[in-house]
Amino acid sequence: MIEILQIFLSESFWVASLRIATPLIFGVLGALLCERAGVLNLGIEGIFVVGAMTGWMTVWLGAPLWVGLIAAAAAGGMFGLLHAILTVPLGLSQHVSGLGITLFATSSASFIYRTALPDVSSPPRIQPFQPMDVPFLSDIPFLGPVVFQQTAMTWLALIMVVIVWWMMSRTPLGVAIRAVGDNPEAVNAQGLSVYGLRIGAVVAGSCLMALGGAFLTMSAFDAFFFGMVNGRGWISIALVIFASWKPGKALLGALLFGMFDALQVRLQTEAGAIIPSQVFLMAPYILSIIALVIVARRAEYPRALLHPWFKGQR
């Protein structure tokens, strides 16, 4: 018990929690945007991979870090656009199209990586984002290291939470996006473009997802590995239901998840001798399923989620 208390009081635990939460914040926000507009985007896992590979490769080719971020977001947006075209105007199965995008995006990224680097034993490294050093604020005991010594990407994630929240709840655009996910016919009657809103939301959401992937290669680590996304996309899809499609709760969900994950890593070092390490490795996935089951009955899905809408047809 004392050990667990000590973990919660340590700075490094909270630093790690926020770091683990960062890609999920991007992922959940991205999934939230797509689903609020009525489109499930199961391409998320592949878009994470594309973001991770593109961001890393752009920097490895000599571009500055922020150019890498833009490249990652753009690449993710391209795959999002493909998913949007397949599911919105063509109205194809969002499940199957999304899985297709994941397979396509993952294999494209892997193929490009392997073609550029045919036989390297250890993946080449880049200089990733460094922890920030904000004058005064970083020196505040506890709060300083936890919040103000994270990398710029964690900050970007937190800013995106505010932007998405503000846009969804305070702007006409946000109202239109929510409406198009609930009742596209009414949006059409208002003279707004259902297709335009849905496609835009899916592309923007996919850009955010790709940033989540880019965080892995440009901030958490400094190289690209196959399989490094490791289900983070799927976990984001579970968390967005847990967060009932609200940006604030999405942040909370990602942070809670980050805390549990940071805790299991530390418990693993404490109890590693007794319990096999794999039990801890399973924990994040089991946790996501439990979170999903808890909220499933009460979840209020956007009413038009998964329902394609065609112009001129009821």
Partner 1 sequence: MIRIEPRQNISYLATIYIPVISALAALALAIIPLTFAGAPVLPAFQQMFFGVFGSVFSFTEMLTRATPLMFTGLAVALAFRARLWNIGAEGQLYLGAMAAVWIGTGMVDGPQWLMIPLVLVTGAMAGALGMLGPALLKTRFGADEVVTSLLLNFIILIFVQMMLEGPLKDPMGLGWPQSMPIIDSAALPRLLDRMRIHAGLIIALVAAIIVAIILSRTVLGLKIRAVGENPSAARHAGINVNRTLLLVACGSGALAGLAGVSEVAGLKGYLTADLSPGFGYAGIVVAMLAGLSPVGVVISALYIATIFVGADSMSRAMGVSSFLADLVVSLSLICVLIGGFFTRFSVRFERKRQSDTQ
Q: Binding residues for partner 1, per CB under 8 A?
A: 42, 82, 86, 89-93, 95-97, 99-101, 103-104, 106-108, 110-112, 114-115, 118, 230-231, 234-235, 237-238, 241, 276, 278-279, 281-282, 285-286, 288-289, 292-293, 296-297, 299, 310-311, 313
Whose Cβ is closer to partner 1: residue 107's or residue 169's? 107
Whose Cβ is closer to partner 1: residue 108's or residue 183's? 108
User: Nearest approach, Cβ of 288 to partner 1 (angstroms)?
Assistant: 6
Whose Cβ is closer to partner 1: residue 2's or residue 274's? 274
Phi and psi torsions of 250, nearest 5°: -65, -45
Whose Cβ is closer to partner 1: residue 89's or residue 131's? 89
Instruction: Tell whether the torsion through CA atoms of 235, 241, 247 and 253 is positive or negative.
Output: negative
User: Nearest approach, Cβ of 102 to partner 1 (angstroms)?
Assistant: 8
Q: What residues does 131 pair with on adjacent strands?
A: 151
Show the beta-strand stretches assigned E in 208-292: none
Nearest to 204 by CA among 177, 222, 227: 177
Q: What residues does 151 pair with on adjacent strands?
A: 131
Cα separation, 213 vs 44, whole angstroms: 10
User: Nearest approach, Cβ of 129 to partner 1 (angstroms)?
Assistant: 27
Whose Cβ is closer to partner 1: residue 196's or residue 276's? 276
User: Nearest approach, Cβ of 101 to partner 1 (angstroms)?
Assistant: 8
Cα separation, 218 vs 73, whole angstroms: 13
Whose Cβ is closer to partner 1: residue 126's or residue 240's? 240
User: Nearest approach, Cβ of 115 to partner 1 (angstroms)?
Assistant: 5
User: Nearest approach, Cβ of 281 to partner 1 (angstroms)?
Assistant: 5
The gap between the terminal CA atoms of the chain, to the nearest Å, is 60
User: How far are the Cα atoms of 16, 82, 110, 213, 256 from residue 104, in angstroms, in the given order?
Assistant: 32, 11, 10, 16, 31
- Asked if residues 244 and 300 have their Cβ atoms less than 8 Å apart, the reply is yes
